[in-house]
Amino acid sequence: MTQQLPLALRWPRRQRFEHFHPGANAAAFAAVQALADDAGAPWVYLHGSPGSGRSHLLMAACQAANAAGRAVQYLPLATLDDRAAALRGVAGSGLLALDDLGAIAGNRDAEHALFDLYNQAKAEGSALLFAAGATTAQLGLVLPDLRSRLGACTQFAIKPLDDEERRSVLKAQATSRGIELDESVLDWLFARYARDLGALLELLDKLDRASLAAQRKITVPFLRGFLRGAGDSAS
| Mean pLDDT score across all residues of the chain | 87
pLDDT for res 175: 87
Of 76 and 198, the one with more pLDDT = 76
Return the SS3 of 59. Answer: helix
pLDDT band at 127 (very low <50, low <70, confident <90, very high): very high
Q: What distance in Å separates the CA atoms of residue 179 and residue 185, rounded to the nearest whole number?
A: 12
CB 65 within 8 A of CB 95: yes
Note whether 7-157 and 163-230 share their fold: no
The values of phi and psi at residue 154, to 5°, are -70, 125
Choose among 73, 70, 146: nearest CA to 104.
146
Taking only the tens place, the pLDDT of each residue in 162-198 is: 888 888 888 888 888 888 888 888 888 888 776 677 7
Q: What distance in Å separates the CA atoms of residue 157 and residue 201, rounded to the nearest whole number?
A: 23
Q: Is the pLDDT of residue 4 over 80?
A: no
7-157: CATH topology: Rossmann fold (3.40.50)
Q: What are the extents of the domains in the chain?
A: 7-157, 163-230
Question: Between β-strands 154-157 and 44-47, what pairing exists: parallel, antiparallel or unpaired?
Answer: parallel
Number of H helices, E strands in the chain: 10, 5
Q: Average of pLDDT values for 211-226?
A: 88
pLDDT for res 2: 40
What CATH number was assigned to the domain covering residues 163-230?
1.10.8.60
Give the predicted TM-score (pTM) of the model. Answer: 0.79
Taking only the tens place, the pLDDT of each residue in 20-59 is: 888 889 999 999 999 999 989 999 999 998 888 899 999 9
Q: In sequence order, what are the residues at sequence separation of 6 or more whose Cβ sits closer than 8 angstroms to the Cβ of residue 20? A: 29, 53, 56, 57, 60
